[in-house]
Amino acid sequence: MTSNLVIEENGFKIPLISIGTSPFIGASQFGVKAFQYRNYWLYHPERMEKAFLMAYEIGVPGVHVLPYESILKAVEKALKKADIIITATVEVGNGEILEKLRDMGASAVAIHAEWSDRRTSEVSKWLERISEFALSGLATHKPHITLEITRDFGNDFYMVPINPLGRYMGDAEKALELYLSSQKLLIGMKILAAGKSTLEEALRFSMKYVDAVTIGIGNFKELVETFTSAVHILREILNLQ
């Protein structure tokens, strides 16, 4: 399915909505469900491939990749069947993953918050490496601090936590002020606050502050329900036909 939920930034296509993969690795914000999600998804690339293709058919143009071999394997297979836009988060030092993302044609790659929020000496070098083939970004778990301190860094975008509840955002009020004043592209994550916020409320709130969002899902039923609604709501917010 061709989606119109795409923007262009410096010649690179960025999905306004992408399927996130943090549930697939059992990220800690999912609490007691984390282990269940990890077991169901991470060791079954065929399930992840199916999820990526189902989301694409619904109208979700992108996949946001985390640096796990099985996720990359699933993406590689899905790319043979659909023109999916790839964005990603990477860990500093994993050059092999970076090369794989280059080969996949990834359009935007962020450095993981573990490094971005500590602003380690390697961050600038990795931003330069990423910039050779994609938009370079910084993911953050401390937006109220990192966006201000890295204002003059050479990154093209940020991946930032945002949701109506202010969860995972640190000083949420200050973070929102920084989002509004930022001159760089912002991709929102954690917009559902690990299932604590409703989809429509989360999207309508988040899109006041960020340019695009990534949303994770726990199962196939949730995928269909979430992305069918999300695509409709986004098109309404953006006045798209």
Q: What is the CATH number of the domain that holds 79?
A: 3.20.20.100
77, part of any domain: yes
Q: What string of pLDDT tens digits covers the 241 residues of the chain? A: 556 899 999 999 999 999 999 999 998 888 888 889 999 999 999 999 999 999 999 999 999 999 999 999 999 999 999 999 999 999 999 899 999 999 999 999 999 999 999 988 899 999 999 999 999 999 999 999 999 999 999 999 999 999 999 999 999 999 999 999 999 999 999 999 988 899 999 999 999 999 999 999 999 999 999 999 999 999 999 988 5
DSSP annotation of 66? P
Q: How many Cα atoms occupy the beta-carbon half-sphere of 216 within 13 Å?
A: 23
Distances (CA, A) of 121 to 16, 115, 142, 148: 31, 9, 18, 18
**pTM higher than 0.85, yes or no?**
yes
**Residue 241 corresponds to which tokens in the numbers above?**
């036909």
| CA-based nearest residue to 168, from 147, 146, 190 | 190
**Structural domain includes residue 1:** no
Q: Given this model, what pLDDT does residue 232 score?
A: 96
Question: How far is Cα 74 from Cα 239, in angstroms, rounded to an integer?
Answer: 33
Q: Residues 6 or more apart from 52 whose CB is under 8 A from it?
A: 19, 63, 74, 75, 78, 82, 84
Question: Within a domain: residue 78?
Answer: yes
d(CA 155, CA 177): 19
85: its two tokens: 């836009």
pLDDT of residue 120: 82
* Domain assignment of residue 23, yes or no: yes
> Under DSSP, is residue 37 helix (H, G, I), strand (E, B) or coil?
helix
From the CA atom positions of the chain, what is the Rg in Å? 16
**232 lies in which domain range?**
6-237
pLDDT of 12 reads 98
Give the C-alpha distances (Å, rounded to integers) separating 52 from 19, 100, 140, 154, 183: 7, 18, 25, 31, 31
- 186: phi > 0 → left, psi -120 to 50 → alpha, else beta; which? beta
Q: Is residue 44 situated within a structural domain? A: yes
Residue 15 belongs to some domain of the structure: yes
Residue 160 included in any domain:
yes
Task: Provide the number of structural domains found in the chain.
Answer: 1
Residue 84 placed within a domain:
yes
